[in-house]
Every structure is written in structure tokens, then in C-alpha cells.
């Protein structure tokens, strides 16, 4: 009962002490520690320190019998070794802030302290110094030092003078191979941060000691100690453990324990800020509070645990607030008895950009102030090789979309707007928006609902289409500016994940379905030759029959109908060998084709599908190649960044080599309106009655709603906190320029443009940044997105000059671009929780992924929530496929109403995990949370007094130390078979200690 009361609540003495230690100079970050463990090797009378393991974040061992490093793995420690380490720190020598400039001097200070403390006799001084100053052999230099060791065996006398001579010989020989050594070091140095320091652990058995020699040293200044460390990193800490023979395995486990502790984020802070040995012991006790025990009967200690893909942040452990409120992290680490089920996820936050200011153009002014400081970096950060890949990828997507949309718009409006207008409008609107908009990562494009609106508008034949369209655009521009001036964008705060996912999923499915539809349609134009049988190939023939020369009328009639570019030969056609002419030559010279194989055409539909799926599959494979095991990191990153461009070039090359007449990209070659009877500027008056200028405000309202919802939802998706954008948003500034561009495009007779969700997501994905330097075994960390304006501007400038690139672009097959469309649609579904929940319908419960919402919400409620989203998506899909698509923007607003009604179907707890709490609920929750925190702080402040605080050091844990020769109290039961893992990595693998 006492144990339960002592462990269940409150703050442990160790945590109390650490809170006091870490609270000092907390704003000064401690360097990353690289830890190397060397063990003492005996070869007759010769001794040397051999590197056996190293840590940057995870452990790497030197493989026994092999000259290579093991794969990085999570350090698994015996519980006994941690207790033995605790006793070592309590009974050994602890030298903090030692002034040391060379290894011999540091060794002398350590030995002097041991002699002064009576831990060793003076007669052992030279022997211990001799052992500690033996040469160090590192793993990557093993072949070199084997030969050097054979060359340097002339001096075998175990004297101090001989030691220094040997060390100097080694340095001289190593210096002659400096270039090779540096080249070998650099590969691993990339994995170590620049400001890193080293901690060295020396473990060995000697025959002149009868009890362990233990020392923990922290240098006042990090110092490079010659060849002590395998990489040129200055040493800050040393841990030395020498002991009598027979306990080597125990010594090794203690060395691994201290090495693992030194790379632990919290203990390394303690080691830097400790004032005495009690502070170090408190750090070990805090580590013991958090370790996870793996039962020996349920887990094989020989298994090397792979590093997790994502390691929890140590910020919570370091936080004084958490140490104060929680005491022990295990109390909330999860598991059956933890408080995890009572926790709520991080609330939905859209930032200060959507706060209602109540002032005229207040939000717009704040957006401008927020973006001005980043003007220079918006251009300078675009100069990176990754930007080249992003520009080419998004450019191809934009021109494909412009050609597709322009063609459909030309059919719908009788060429009042066509491909040329689509190209120029995309270039103009996109360039202006990326240059002046609030979020330059957004890509503008035309949308399906706008196309349907244009079609319905053109069918009103009683009034002039272009003039009516101009006034609708002007009214819509005015309405957008009114929304900007009144801070109407704050309504976006009520768009939760439910609405975002429904909208983005719909757009993604449209991209996927359109790409597939276009490929299925290729069978209509290029039917497969079903009537041709391979077994009957010998019977198929097509002959060219010469025209009858005796009938001049036949020849003259052929000349009359011949195309003007065909020049008839001046010689007598009877001299030609008609059987050797090609099909084109036969028709050209007036011959006739006769035979059952004359109508044969290649299976262009089949090769089109190969190009289509080949481009998609290769792009997906090359994207995943970035995380494969092959080739160096830079090579893999380069291939991953340029995966789409590589795929397009490969399949364009395949198409060119095959020489088949597959459908190609057709780009206009002259800058002129698609319809000859219209100019580049639309006049506002003269063709329609006066009342049309006023009445056009009603249809303009539908356009405004569509633009507002499409633009702002796309902006919310782009600005998600998952993308780690740092330059802020600009919802009001974005809408301002979209409205202005509406008016400009209306005057020029160009299509209207708004944010393209899928292409914008693809733009974000192509500019994501990951950490270049990561510890061995650690996955590259997502750092954010390369926020700049250069890629977007270049994309739209290239779109504008594509007219002059037509000779090159005509070699790109359309099926290849449809494959890019398919990839964009599928890739934009990645990370959408709605899509993951749809897949749960097809999975048995035992095979379902360990999603956080499945831990807190019953599966039947998850399925019900998903079903509501599926129904809403089906309604939107049906709506956009009919003439009723004109009210599509109103239905987007309807999603927000449906989400509000779901508050009646689901609890706020379930909605917090499956969606986001609506803002008014969030405010109440924040108030309640503040009240609880204030109450806790009041209670915590009550017992405080002016008296000195009691020592936070917990009572020492007594365990048998006779295994390594350390003094100990009576023996409690010892658990040497239990194995524990370092705390950051395995909280999900075993119950709490």
C-alpha cells in the first residue's frame, strides 16, 4: 500500500530535483552528444582500446567477426545494469568542470582524485595511467592499424615512457594517412550535427585491481583529445570503468547503460547542468521512472529493435510544467491504466489570420503587414534545385489543364473562349497572384462548376454573351471586395476537417475519374483490332493496284480532287513498280488499295494505356525510392524530387521509339482570339438592354459564393499546420486579388480563375523539405515547405510562352499527361483521414492500423461518421454531374450545416478525435482548462514556505553489487533477466514499469 501511495501521485523526489536543475539557464540549448564506447583488448603484453559501439541517437555495435557496423537499433538495457550504474556514480569519483587540455593531464587528474579519495593505492597510479593512455583503434581504421600494430611492436616495456613513445608513433603514422582517414570520417560526420560534442566511455578488465575503478568526468570546455574519438568532435564527458577479470559482461552492460543515458535528451541536460553527484543520481532515477520493462518470457533480448519511424518529442519530459503537474511521464504514457483515454487531441487552430477585426479592411491590412517582411526571402528561397523539379511538374499539370479546359470551354461557348484564351488567362492570373497574393503556393486554375456556369450563360441567346459575362465579372469582383473589406473570411473558422476532407476528396476523385475517362475514351477513337487473328496472318494482304492508263478521265479526275500540296509526277506512271509503293505513296499517285489487311491500324489504345499506367506507376515507384535502401541519400533524394519529370521523359522516349501515331499535346502557335469575330477587349455597353447591367448581379452572387468557398477551402488545406508553413497566411489578400483578376479577365474575355486544390497540394508536396543530417537509424524529419514565389511565377510565365514551345511540346503524348493527372489525384488523397476511414470498412478489426481515433472512439461510431461523409460526397458528385451544378457552391455551404447538425449525433469527445470542435465549443473548453490549471497552481502554491526545501534525492536503491566488486547493503531480489529499453522509443511495446 505504501508503494502504491508513493508511486501513484505527486511529484517524485528525482523529478523535483530535476525541475530545480533544469529550470536554471533553460534558454541555453545543450549540444548534441556523440557517444563512443571503447573496450580494453589484450594481446599478450600489448593492450589497446578498441571501439565496440557508438551512439548518435540509436546504438550501433561493431559486429563480432565482421569488420562493419550493425544496423542502428534501440538500446535495450538490463535493469540490473542501470542499478549498478547508479551505485557506480554514488561510489566512484565524479569530477565536474575539470580543466583539461590533453588526455595525459586528464588521466593524471582522475588518478590523483582516486588516490586522494582512498579508492586506490598510490602504488597503482602508474599502472592505471598506463592502461588509460593506451592507443585507440577505431572500427573504420581497423585494416590500417592492424599493419601499423605489427610495425610498432618493438617497444613492449609497460612503462610510462614507452606509452608516450607508442602514442607519438601512432600519431605520426596516422598523420601520413590523413587524407584517407579524413575521407572515411566525412561520411559519418554528415550524421553528426555541427555543434555536437563527444562523451567517451572506457570499459576494461585488468589484473592489478581487486575492486572497480569508476570515474565520471565533465570537462569545463570541450576539448579534442587526439585519437580518442573516431570523429573530430571535441570531448566533454568521460566515463571510465576498470575492474578485475571475470566481470567483463557486467562491465560492458554498465558501459552501454551510461552511453544510452548520455544520448537521452533529458539526462544529457542533467549531465551538463549537474552541480554534484546527487544531481546525476537524480537523473538516473528519473530515467528509471520512465523505462519500459519487456518481460523476458515474452521477448527475446537478442532481437535488435528497429528505430521507430517517429520518435516522440522530449519537450514534454523537459518541460518544468509537465514535471510539476504530471510528476512521471508514465502516468500518461498510455496503456490500460494510463490517462490517455481522458485526454483530448490538439484543438483545431487556424491562427490569428482569421480573427474578426471589426475594422474596415482590417484583415487585409494585417495580411499585408504579415507578408511584407518576407518579400526578399520569397524570392531568394526559390533558388534551389528542388524548385526546378516543382516548376516542371506543376507546369505540365497546368498546361494540360489549360488545354483540356480550353477545349471544353470552346465547345460550350462556340469558341468565344478557347485554348488560346485559356493559356493567356492562366498565365496572366497565375503570375499576378503568385507575385502579389497572400499565399503564393496556391495555384490558380479553372474549375468544373465555372465551366457549367459559362455553358448555361451562353445558352441564353437573347442577349450578348460576352457583354453579359463582363458585367457578371464586375459584380462578382465588387462582391469579393466587399467580403474582403468586412473580414468575411473569418467564417472559414467554421470549416472543420469534415468540410475540408469532403471538398478535397471530391476534387481528387474528379481528377482520377477524368484521367480514367479520357483513357477509356481512347478506345472510341482507336478501336482494338479484334477481327485480326494471329493464326491467319498468312492470308492477310494489301496490294496497291495501278490506275488504268487507258482511261485519262480517271487520272484527270484524280488530279482534280488531289490536295493542292500534292505534286503529280511529270513522268509516266506506268514505269512505277506499284507493288513496292507504300500506303501513302499508293494513295498519292492515284492507286487503289485492295486486300483484307488494308484497314489495319496499330492498337493505339493499348499503347496509350501502357503510357498512361506506366507514367503513373513509375512516378509512384520513384517517389518511394527516396526511402529505399539503395544508393546514397543525395542520389535517392534527387531521384525522388525529379520522379515525375523522369517518368515523363522515359515514356515520351518510349513513345518516340515506337513511332506510333498516339494522341499528342496540341498547343496553339499564334497569339490571336480563337473566334475570328471577337477582339481582345470586351466593351461594356451597346449590345444589351440597360437592365442587364443591374440584373447580372444575381448570377454574379452564385459565382462569388463559388469563388469564395473554392478559394478559401483550398487555402485552408494548403495552410494546414501539418505543412509547417512559417510565413503566415493571407486569406483576405488572396480573395482581394482573385476578385481583381475576375474583373481584368472579364474585360479581356478570358476565363475566370480560382484556387485549384489538387494542383496546389501537388505544388506543396513537390516543395517539402526534410532534414539532411539525421542520426543513423533516425528517419529524416519533415522540416516544412520551401515557401517562396519563384516556382509559381515561373510556372505561369512558362505557360504563357508555351505558344513558342509548340515544336517541342508536340512530342508529349496526352496519355502520359493523363498519367500525371492520375498521380496528382491519388497523391492528394494521401493523409486524408476520410480516405483512411473508408478503407477500415474492408479491414477486419485485428488488421486495422493503430490510428489514434480508434483508441478513443468505438468502431461503430467511426463507421457512422464515415458513412455521413460518404453520403455527402455522393450528393456533391451527383450534383456536379448534372445541370444543377450551378448551385454547387451553395452545397459546399451545406456541408457546414451538416457538420453543425452532427453535434446532435455525436459527442464532443468523439468529434474532437474524428473531426474538430467548432469554435464556440473550443472557447468553452479553453475556459474550463484555464480554470483547472489555476486551481492546480493555487493548490501547488499553498504548501510553500520560506524554509529550505528538503533534499530531493530519493533514498538509495540497494541491490547486490558483489557481481562487480562494489560495496553494497543486504541483498534484495535482483532482476538481472529483465531488459529495459531507452524511454523515447518503446512506450507502445510493453506495460509500464
Confidence of residue 555 (pLDDT cuts 50, 70, 90): very low
The grid coordinates listed for 627 are: 526511402
What is the average pLDDT across 589-614?
79
What pLDDT sits at residue 666?
Answer: 73
What is the Cα 408 distance to its own chain's centre? 36
The predicted-structure confidence for 395-442, as pLDDT tens digits, reads as follows 877 877 777 777 667 767 777 877 788 888 888 888 999 888 888 888
Query: By the 8 A CB rule, do 31 and 144 touch?
Result: no
Q: Which of 489-503, 828-842, 947-961 has the lowest mean pLDDT?
A: 947-961
pLDDT at 146 over 60: no
pLDDT at 987 over 60: no
The grid coordinates listed for 841 are: 470498412
What is the average pLDDT across 289-302?
82
Confidence of residue 56 (pLDDT cuts 50, 70, 90): confident
What pLDDT sits at residue 202?
Answer: 93
SS3 49: strand
Cell 487552430 locates to: 349
The answer for residues whose C-beta is within 8 angstroms of residue 345's C-beta and 6 or more apart is 852, 912, 913
Give, in degrees to the nearest 5, the angle at Cα 898 between 895 and 899: 90
Distance CA 652, CA 658 (A): 10
Confidence of residue 935 (pLDDT cuts 50, 70, 90): low
pLDDT at 58 over 80: yes
User: Taking phi first (over 0 means left), then psi (-120 to 50 degrees means alpha), and beta for anything else, what does residue 77 get?
Assistant: beta
What pLDDT sits at residue 203?
Answer: 93
Confidence of residue 82 (pLDDT cuts 50, 70, 90): very high
Q: Which of 253-267, 374-388, 762-776 has the lowest mean pLDDT?
A: 762-776
What is the average pLDDT across 254-272?
90
Distance CA 115, CA 606 (A): 86
Mean pLDDT of the chain: 75
Query: By the 8 A CB rule, do 87 and 968 touch?
Result: yes
Sequence spans of domains, the chain: 32-139+195-306, 362-525+612-831
Q: Hey, how many other C-beta atoms are within 10 angstroms of the C-beta on 821?
A: 25
What pLDDT sits at residue 14?
Answer: 72
Cell 468502431 locates to: 859
The predicted-structure confidence for 721-734, as pLDDT tens digits, reads as follows 777 888 888 888 88
What pLDDT sits at residue 637?
Answer: 74
With b for 16 or more beta-carbon neighbours within 10 A and e for fewer, the 491-502 pattern comes to bbbbbbbbbbbb
What is the average pLDDT across 42-55?
85
The predicted-structure confidence for 451-473, as pLDDT tens digits, reads as follows 777 777 777 667 777 888 888 88
What pLDDT sits at residue 966?
Answer: 53
Measure the CA dihedral 347/348/349/353, to 10°: -160
pTM attached to this predicted model: 0.66
pLDDT at 619 over 90: no
The predicted-structure confidence for 327-351, as pLDDT tens digits, reads as follows 343 434 333 333 344 466 666 555 6
The predicted-structure confidence for 868-894, as pLDDT tens digits, reads as follows 989 988 888 887 777 666 666 677 778
Distance CA 907, CA 518 (A): 44
What pLDDT sits at residue 646?
Answer: 84
The predicted-structure confidence for 568-584, as pLDDT tens digits, reads as follows 444 455 566 777 777 77
What pLDDT sits at residue 558?
Answer: 38
What pLDDT sits at residue 530?
Answer: 67
Which secondary structure element, helix H or strand E, spans residue 48, and what is its range? strand 46-55
Cell 496526352 locates to: 814
What is the average pLDDT across 632-656?
81
Q: Which of 3-17, 261-275, 285-299, 933-947 has the lowest mean pLDDT?
A: 933-947
What is the average pLDDT across 595-622?
82
What pLDDT sits at residue 942?
Answer: 46
Q: Going by DSSP bridges, is the β-strand pair 197-206/33-43 parallel, antiparallel, or unpaired?
A: parallel
β-strand partners of 484:
none
Provide CATH code, domain 32-139+195-306.
Answer: 3.40.930.10
The predicted-structure confidence for 675-692, as pLDDT tens digits, reads as follows 777 778 878 877 777 787
β-strand partners of 60:
54
What pLDDT sits at residue 965?
Answer: 54
pLDDT at 167 over 50: no
pLDDT at 180 over 70: no
Q: Hey, how many other C-beta atoms are within 10 angstroms of the C-beta on 820?
A: 22
Amino acid at each position: 500500500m505504501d508503494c502504491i501511495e508513493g508511486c501513484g501521485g505527486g511529484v517524485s523526489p528525482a523529478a523535483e530535483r530535476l525541475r530545480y536543475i533544469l529550470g536554471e539557464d533553460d534558454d541555453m540549448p545543450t549540444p548534441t552528444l556523440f557517444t563512443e564506447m571503447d573496450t580494453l583488448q589484450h594481446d599478450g603484453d600489448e593492450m589497446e582500446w578498441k571501439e565496440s559501439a557508438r551512439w548518435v541517437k540509436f546504438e550501433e555495435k561493431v559486429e563480432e567477426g565482421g569488420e562493419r557496423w550493425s544496423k542502428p537499433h534501440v538500446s535495450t538495457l538490463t535493469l540490473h545494469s542501470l542499478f549498478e550504474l547508479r551505485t557506480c556514480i554514488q561510489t566512484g569519483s565524479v569530477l565536474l568542470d575539470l580543466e583539461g587540455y590533453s588526455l595525459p593531464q586528464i588521466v593524471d587528474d582522475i588518478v590523483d582524485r582516486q588516490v586522494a579519495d582512498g579508492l586506490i593505492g598510490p602504488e597503482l597510479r602508474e599502472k592505471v595511467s598506463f592502461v588509460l593512455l593506451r592507443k585507440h583503434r577505431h572500427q573504420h581504421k581497423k585494416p590500417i592499424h592492424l599493419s601499423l600494430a605489427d610495425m610498432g611492436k618493438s617497444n613492449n616495456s609497460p612503462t610510462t615512457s614507452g606509452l608516450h613513445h607508442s602514442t607519438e608513433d601512432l600519431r605520426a603514422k596516422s598523420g601520413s594517412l590523413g587524407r584517407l582517414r579524413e575521407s572515411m570520417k566525412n561520411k559519418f560526420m554528415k550524421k553528426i550535427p555541427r555543434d555536437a560534442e563527444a562523451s567517451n566511455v572506457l570499459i576494461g578488465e585488468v589484473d592489478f585491481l581487486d575492486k572497480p575503478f569508476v570515474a565520471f568526468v565533465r570537462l569545463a570546455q570541450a576539448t579534442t583529445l587526439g585519437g580518442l574519438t573516431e570523429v573530430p568532435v571535441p570531448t566533454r564527458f568521460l566515463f571510465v570503468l576498470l575492474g578485475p577479470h571475470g566481470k567483463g559482461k557486467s562491465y560492458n552492460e554498465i558501459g552501454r547503460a551510461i552511453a544510452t543515458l548520455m544520448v537521452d535528451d533529458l539526462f544529457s541536460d542533467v549531465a551538463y547542468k549537474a552541480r554534484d553527484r546527487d544531481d546525476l543520481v537524480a537523473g538516473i532515477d528519473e530515467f528509471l521512472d520512465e523505462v519500459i520493462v519487456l518481460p523476458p518470457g515474452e521477448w527475446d533480448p537478442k532481437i535488435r529493435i528497429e528505430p521507430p519511424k517517429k520518435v516522440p518529442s522530449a519537450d514534454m519530459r523537459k518541460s518544468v510544467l509537465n514535471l510539476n503537474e504530471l510528476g512521471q511521464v508514465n502516468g500518461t504514457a498510455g496503456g490500460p491504466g494510463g490517462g490517455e483515454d481522458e485526454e483530448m487531441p490538439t484543438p483545431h487552430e487556424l491562427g490569428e489570420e482569421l480573427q474578426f477585426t471589426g475594422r474596415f479592411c482590417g484583415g487585409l491590412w494585417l495580411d499585408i503587414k504579415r507578408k511584407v517582411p518576407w518579400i526578399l526571402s520569397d524570392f531568394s528561397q526559390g533558388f534551389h534545385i528542388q524548385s526546378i523539379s516543382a516548376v516542371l511538374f506543376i507546369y505540365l499539370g497546368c498546361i494540360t489543364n489549360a488545354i483540356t479546359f480550353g477545349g471544353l470551354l470552346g465547345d460550350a461557348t462556340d469558341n468565344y473562349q478557347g485554348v488560346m484564351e485559356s493559356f493567356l488567362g492562366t498565365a496572366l492570373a497565375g503570375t499576378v497572384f503568385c507575385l502579389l497574393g497572400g499565399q503564393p503556393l496556391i495555384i490558380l486554375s479553372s474549375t468544373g462548376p465555372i465551366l457549367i456556369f459559362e455553358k448555361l450563360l451562353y445558352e441564353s441567346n437573347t442577349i450578348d454573351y460576352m457583354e453579359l459575362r463582363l458585367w457578371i465579372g464586375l459584380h462578382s469582383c465588387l462582391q469579393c471586395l466587399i467580403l474582403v473589406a468586412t473580414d468575411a473570411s473569418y467564417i472559414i473558422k467554421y470549416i472543420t476537417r469534415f468540410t475540408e476532407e469532403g471538398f478535397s476528396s471530391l476534387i481528387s476523385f474528379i481528377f482520377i475519374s477524368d484521367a480514367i475517362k479520357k483513357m477509356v475514351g481512347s478506345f472510341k477513337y482507336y478501336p482494338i483490332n479484334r477481327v485480326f487473328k494471329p493464326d491467319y496472318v498468312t492470308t492477310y494482304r494489301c496490294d496497291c493496284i495501278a490506275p488504268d492508263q487507258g482511261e485519262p478521265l480517271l487520272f484527270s479526275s484524280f488530279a482534280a480532287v488531289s490536295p493542292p500540296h500534292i505534286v503529280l509526277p511529270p513522268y509516266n506512271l506506268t514505269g512505277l513498280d506499284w507493288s513496292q509503293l507504300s500506303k501513302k505513296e499508293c494513295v498519292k499517285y492515284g492507286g487503289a488499295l485492295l486486300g483484307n489487311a488494308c484497314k489495319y491500324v496499330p492498337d493505339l489504345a493499348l499503347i496509350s494505356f501502357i503510357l498512361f499506367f506506366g507514367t503513373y506507376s513509375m512516378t509512384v515507384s520513384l517517389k518511394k525510392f527516396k526511402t529505399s535502401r539503395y544508393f546514397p541519400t543525395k542520389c535517392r533524394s534527387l531521384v525522388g524530387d525529379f520522379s515525375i519529370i523522369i517518368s515523363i521523359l522515359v515514356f515520351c522516349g518510349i513513345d518516340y521509339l515506337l513511332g506510333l501515331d498516339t494522341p499528342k499535346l496540341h498547343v496553339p502557335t499564334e497569339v490571336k482570339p480563337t473566334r475570328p469575330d471577337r477582339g481582345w477587349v470586351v466593351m461594356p455597353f451597346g449590345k444589351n438592354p440597360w437592365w442587364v447591367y443591374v440584373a447580372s448581379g444575381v448570377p454574379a452572387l452564385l459565382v462569388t459564393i463559388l469563388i469564395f468557398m473554392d478559394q478559401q477551402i483550398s487555402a485552408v488545406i494548403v495552410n494546414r499546420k501539418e505543412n509547417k508553413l512559417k510565413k503566415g497566411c493571407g486569406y483576405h489578400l488572396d480573395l482581394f486579388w482573385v476578385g481583381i483578376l475576375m474583373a481584368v479577365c472579364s474585360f479581356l474575355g478570358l476565363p475566370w480563375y480560382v484556387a485549384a486544390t489538387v494542383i496546389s497540394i501537388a505544388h506543396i508536396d513537390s516543395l517539402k523539405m526534410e532534414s539532411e543530417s539525421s542520426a543513423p537509424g533516425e528517419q529524416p524529419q519533415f522540416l516544412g515547405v520551401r515557401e517562396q514565389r519563384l516556382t509559381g511565377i515561373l510556372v505561369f510565365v512558362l505557360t504563357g510562352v508555351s505558344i513558342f514551345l509548340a515544336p517541342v511540346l508536340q512530342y508529349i503524348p496526352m496519355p502520359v499527361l493523363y498519367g500525371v493527372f492520375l498521380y496528382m489525384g491519388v497523391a492528394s488523397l494521401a493523409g486524408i483521414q476520410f480516405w483512411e476511414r473508408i478503407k477500415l470498412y474492408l479491414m477486419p478489426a485485428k488488421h486495422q492500423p493503430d490510428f489514434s481515433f480508434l483508441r478513443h472512439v468505438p468502431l461503430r461510431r467511426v463507421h457512422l461518421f464515415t458513412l455521413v461523409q460518404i453520403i455527402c460526397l455522393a450528393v456533391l458528385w451527383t450534383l456536379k454531374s448534372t445541370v444543377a451544378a450551378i448551385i454547387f457552391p451553395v452545397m459546399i455551404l451545406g456541408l457546414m450545416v451538416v457538420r453543425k447538425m452532427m453535434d446532435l449525433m455525436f459527442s464532443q469527445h468523439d468529434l474532437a478525435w474524428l473531426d474538430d470542435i467548432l469554435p464556440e465549443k473550443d472557447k468553452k473548453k479553453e475556459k474550463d482548462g484555464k480554470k483547472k490549471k489555476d486551481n492546480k497552481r493555487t493548490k501547488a502554491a499553498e504548501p510553500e514556505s520560506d524554509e529550505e526545501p528538503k533534499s530531493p534525492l530519493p533514498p538509495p536503491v540497494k541491490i547486490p553489487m558483489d557481481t562487480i566488486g562494489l560495496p553494497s547493503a543486504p541483498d534484495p531480489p535482483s532482476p538481472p533477466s529483465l531488459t529495459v529499453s531507452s524511454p523515447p522509443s518503446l512506450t507502445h511495446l510493453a506495460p509500464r514499469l
